Amino acid sequence: MEQTTKELVGINEISEYLPHEAPMLMIDCIYHCEGQEIVTGFTVRQDNIFVKDGVLREPGIMENIAQSAAAKGGYNVKKLGEKPGLGFIGALSDLKIYFHPSVGEELITEIQVKNEVFNVSRIEGRLTCNGKLVAKCEMKIIRAKTETKD
| Side-chain-facing half-sphere of 110: CA atoms under 13 Å | 14
Which residues in the chain land under pLDDT 50? 1-3, 148-150
- pTM of structure: 0.88
Asked if the structure places residue 126 within a domain, the reply is yes
Enclosing domain of residue 101: 14-143
Task: Please compute Rg for the chain using Cα positions.
Answer: 15
Q: How far is CA 26 from the centre of its chain?
A: 7
CATH number at residue 42: 3.10.129.10
Asked if the structure places residue 85 within a domain, the reply is yes
Q: Are 136 and 68 in contact (CB under 8 A)?
A: no
Asked if the structure places residue 149 within a domain, the reply is no
CA distances from 149 to 143, 146 (A): 18, 10
Confidence at residue 122, expressed as pLDDT on a 0 to 100 scale = 94
Domain count, the chain: 1
